[in-house]
Amino acid sequence: MASTDARRLAILEALRDSKTIRVADLSRQFGVSEVSIRRDLAKLEQYGLLRRVHGGAIGNPTVPPNHSFDERLRRRAEEKRRIGKAAAALVQPGDSIILDSGTTVLQVAREIAARSEQPEQFTVITSSLPAFRELAGSRNLSLIILGGVFLPDYQTLVGPQTLANLSALHADKLFLGSDGLSFSHGVTTRSLLEAEVSKAMVRAATEIIVVCDSKKIGTVGFTSVVPLSQVHRLVTDTEAPEPFVNELRSLGVEVILA
């Protein structure tokens, strides 16, 4: 996990708690120079996550809240269910797969769990606690839960331990969630810590399969995970914009509309 990314995430959390932060205080808290803190604030302002003022920064009221996992799960539930079913159909007996965090990936886990009575054996690796709970009762798979620090907003595990565990593993397929999908920034997410884990998952997998609903297309999250040119398949819903789908297919990416 990059220390700079971790520090910037901590700065955002401090801002959420106190509404106003000072450069001098942050410099003492993190043990870095005020120049480094000003650089952090400039980058966070560039992303629209705060507004710099003399001596520090204040919160940006235009930044949308990060809704709870359960609330995100209820949004576009039918589209996510269809995406999950189509994505789960890509899993073959003998596969080793990684399940990223996120509500759409959770639907993939649910569809896999529904196949638990079928005589097929495969391995699932995940940092997502909801996905782990869905699959814990399945008898036809080997289930590996990655250790780490619990991130409540995303119901997932992150941090150095998660990255170290992933570095020793390899999988045939990764089912990768997304908070945004664009040609300019690729697959993006809101969380720096989650992004570090997702990047490690990308490195550990042979095939990258992105699963997200069409409302994420054309939006950009806080930080990038992987360029679209490195994605092998996108599973999304039938409302996906045709120009986007056509352009993606021209890059050699298979697009499945569920």
Express each pLDDT in 122-164 by its tens digit: 999 999 999 999 999 888 889 999 999 898 888 999 998 999 9
Query: Could you say which DSSP state residue 222 is in?
Result: S
pLDDT at 63: 44
- Gyration radius of the chain over CA positions: 19
pLDDT at 60: 63
Strand, coil or helix: what is 219?
A: coil
Mean pLDDT over 240-256 rounds to 93
pLDDT at 81: 97
Mean pLDDT over 179-202 rounds to 92
CA distance 147 to 164: 9
Express each pLDDT in 27-47 by its tens digit: 999 899 999 999 999 887 775
Domains present along the chain, CATH in parentheses: 3-59 (1.10.10.10), 69-257 (3.40.50.1360)
Contact 196, 202 (CB under 8 A): no
Taking each helix axis from N to C end, the angle separating 23-30 and 34-46, rounded to the nearest 10 degrees, works out to 110
CA distance 249 to 112: 27
